[in-house]
Amino acid sequence: MPDVTIVAPVFDEAGAAPDLAREIAAAFQGRDFEILFVDDASRDDTVARLKALKAELPQLRVLRHARNSGQSRAVRTGVLHARSPLIVTLDGDGQNDPADAPRLVDRLAAGPPALAMVAGQRRTRQDSAAKRFGSRFANGVRKRLLKDAADDTGCGLKAFRRDAFLRLPYFDHIHRFLPALMLREGYEVAFEPVNHRPRTTGASKYTNLGRLWASLSDLLGVMWLNTRARLPGDVAEL
């Protein structure tokens, strides 16, 4: 069984996905790993291009949703099908740098059992000014209300323990609230600065207005979940 599974959700990323798969394999060369691309019902030839890579990259697995279900569902599909206890996620558009991923995995593996996640935080956002402003505003509001200490939950590059993730309540857009939900379950979360690259192909699937509407309702939901959390402390078998 592999030591780590790298999960990359993709939707209409035919231009970025093949090179990203090769970069991931290069970053984890010498380790026991698998790469899981989860295609969220792409309308282009993303799946065909990834399948053509399987002979070149034996660690590559490709899953496909029959219906478009969103990034969070694609991440969860990948985690459910992963064969390793440690998971790395990164965006399928190539803006996350796979070279940073092994460092997050190493910090997670070397940490105490309570450390369930090491989340990347983008040092220099390579996005439009409007997108950076919207993200900074949303992160500030979320951090103040949820007290999750996360400056950049929108960064797709994260390493976490599979069993911890599967304990979390699932909902659409959960990927933006993982630090808060991990803390809710009594786990520890750490943060690492990571590189961010400009998009060179394809188009963003998000707008500030669409993200704001979803984030407001999600934020209220997570705040409610936090009020209903009751941790039992240490559990002893007698």
DSSP string computed for 140-176: HHHHHHH----S-TT---EEEEHHHHTTSPP-TTGGG
Which residues have a Cβ under 8 Å from the Cβ of 196 and sit 6 or more positions away? 95, 96, 97, 122, 123, 124, 125, 126, 155
Is residue 187 within 8 Å of 114, Cβ to Cβ? yes
CA-closest candidate to residue 184, choices 152, 230, 218, 219: 230
Can you read off the two tokens belonging to residue 136? 């900074």
Say what the pLDDT of residue 201 is.
83
- The span from the CA of 128 to the CA of 134, in Å, is 10
- Which two three-digit tokens encode residue 118? 């090491």
pLDDT of residue 132: 65
State the DSSP code for 96.
B
pLDDT reported for residue 118: 98
Diameter over CA atoms, the chain: 58
Is 191 in a helix, a strand, or coil? Answer: strand
Reported as a single tens digit per residue, the pLDDT across 156-196 is 999 999 999 999 999 999 999 999 999 999 999 999 999 99
Q: Which residues pair with 96 in a beta bridge?
A: 196
Q: β-strand 86-89 against 158-161: which pairing, if any?
A: antiparallel
27 forms bridges with which residues in the sheet?
none
Query: Which strand (E) or helix (H) includes residue 213?
Result: helix 208-227
112: number of CA atoms within 13 Å, CB side? 5
Residue 28 structure tokens: 């984890």
Q: What is the pLDDT of residues 139-155, one digit of tens each?
A: 778 888 998 989 998 89
pLDDT value for 126: 58
Assess contact for 27 and 98: CB atoms under 8 A: yes
Residue 126 DSSP SS3: coil
Contact call for residues 190 and 111 (beta carbons, < 8 A)? yes
Tell me the pTM: 0.89
Task: Give the SS3 label for residue 78.
Answer: helix
Cα angle: 22, vertex 63, 17; to 5 degrees: 30
CA distances from residue 170 to 118, 141, 180 in whole angstroms, order as listed = 19, 22, 13
Length of the chain counted residue by residue = 238
| List of domains in the chain | 4-227 (3.90.550.10)
Q: What does the pLDDT read at residue 63?
A: 98
For every one of its 238 residues, what pLDDT tens digit does the chain have, with 9 covering 90 and above? 999 999 999 999 999 999 999 999 999 999 999 999 999 999 999 999 999 999 999 999 999 999 999 999 999 999 999 999 999 999 999 999 999 999 999 999 999 999 999 999 998 765 666 666 666 777 778 888 998 989 998 899 999 999 999 999 999 999 999 999 999 999 999 999 999 998 888 666 655 555 666 678 899 999 999 999 999 988 999 9
